[in-house]
Structure formats: C-alpha cells, structure tokens
Amino acid sequence: DTGVSQDPRHKITKRGQNVTFRCDPISEHNRLYWYRQTLGQGPEFLTYFQNEAQLEKSRLLSDRFSAERPKGSFSTLEIQRTEQGDSAMYLCASSPGTSGSEQYFGPGTRLTVT
Amino acid sequence: GENVEQHPSTLSVQEGDSAVIKCTYSDSASNYFPWYKQELGKGPQLIIDIRSNVGEKKDQRIAVTLNKTAKHFSLHITETQPEDSAVYFCAASRIGTASKLTFGTGTRLQVTL
C-alpha cells in the first residue's frame, strides 16, 4: 500500500502523560499536514511542513504540542501533559505540493485521554 | 480566516435517487474546493475536486459545481448506491502557500434500499 500511514491507530492514555504519533506520507510528497478531528466535526488544520521546514502552525496548536519532520520524510506529533480535551482523531495528510494541491489522508490516530 | 458552511447535516435517499450537498465559503481568495468521503473509523478519502477556473467537473456518478460569484459549491451524486453511505465533507483552500484546508461540518448520507 503506497498511501499515507499512521501509527498507532488507537492510543489510550491517562491525563498528564505524553504521547507521540507517527505519520509516513506518500513517497515523494514534499508537503505534510496534521489535522485534528473531533466527533461530528470536520478536520481542523494544526500544522504544515514543506519538506523538513514547519511553515505554519494553527492557534489550536498549544505549547504542549510539537511536531517534527526531521528528514523531510516521516513526521511525528507529540502531545505533552495530555488533557481530556485532547481526545480526538489526529489525521495526517500529504500532498505533492507545487502544482498538485490534492491532500491525501491517512487513517488517523484515535486518542482517548482518561 | 476562511469559514465553510455545509448543508444538510443529514440526508437520506433511496437507492437510485440523486443526492445533493451544498457548501458556502467566505474567503473570495479561495480557489480550490475538494470533497472528501469518510467512512466509519477511516480517514477522509478525496473523491473529487474543482478549481476556481472551472464551473463544473464530473467523474462518473459524481459531479461538483462551483459558483464563484455566490461563493458556493455543490456535490451531486446520481444513481446512489448503498456503498455511497458515509459522511461527506467539503473544503476550501488557496492554492500556493500552505494550501491548508478549511472543512465544512459534514453531511451524513444514508442510502436506503
């Protein structure tokens, strides 16, 4: 399968713990996006990478959130000191960039904070 | 920033009928409008998109229309089938910079036999 992959698919954690999610984009896609989706809502933009550079962050991305894309390939999203309000589906998407605007989403990581 | 509104929130049609979902956007600079289908427990799947230099686009049973003046766009599904049942999201963005997507709130489509 050459689509976007995410790991883990599900994560249950206790409030206050740190969690890290991984996204592997479609090969050769230089743009990578993170979105968050809560129940009954559309995805909301969190942050965006062009190759290894993080070029934009949403106001939704508090100081407890950090994202990296160290070699311009896979990306990680870390949430420190998780709160119950962080419970959501975290979606990763990749795009070829330049002339291609299409974003292709992975299956998401469902986070539950207890 | 961009704001996208989507209607209806739920839609029930009989198999074989047509379904129409409508969206409006607020930012006149938006020029790319994709539609996604999301099934339970899965990520959104891109099904069709349209750019602002085109008024209509078709792909088999699916079509999208865009009215730039009114700032609204619609998804049309003809000859609906049970496997079309899912949540559909519209989105808008500006091609060029981050091209981040702003999504509508979704339409749950139920195709009954």
pLDDT digits (tens, 9 = 90+) for B10-64: 999 999 999 999 999 999 999 999 999 999 989 999 999 999 888 999 999 999 9
| Span A57-80, pLDDT tens digits | 999 889 999 999 998 899 999 999
State whether B43 and A107 contact (CB < 8 Å).
Answer: yes
Q: Is B101 exposed, middle or buried (0-12, 13-18, 19+ CB in 10 A)?
A: buried
- Residue to substitute from A4, A10, A44, A45, interface B, most B β-carbons within 10 A: A45
Banded pLDDT at B105 (limits 50, 70, 90):
very high
Backbone angles phi, psi at A19, to 5 degrees: -135, 155
Q: How far is A81 from chain B (nearest CA, A)?
A: 26
pLDDT at A100: 62
* Average pLDDT of chain A to the nearest whole number: 94
| Span B65-89, pLDDT tens digits | 999 999 999 999 999 999 999 999 9
State whether A108 and B42 contact (CB < 8 Å).
Answer: yes
State whether B100 and A101 contact (CB < 8 Å).
Answer: no
Q: Could you tell me the maximum CA-CA distance found in chain A, to the nearest angstrom?
A: 43
Question: Does residue B71 contact residue B12 with C-beta atoms inside 8 Å?
Answer: no
Give CA–CA dist B108/B86, Å, rounded: 6
Question: A15-19, A88-92, A106-110, B51-55: which has the minimum mean pLDDT?
Answer: B51-55
State yes or no: pLDDT of A98 exceeds 70. no
Residue scoring higher pLDDT (A100 or A101): A101
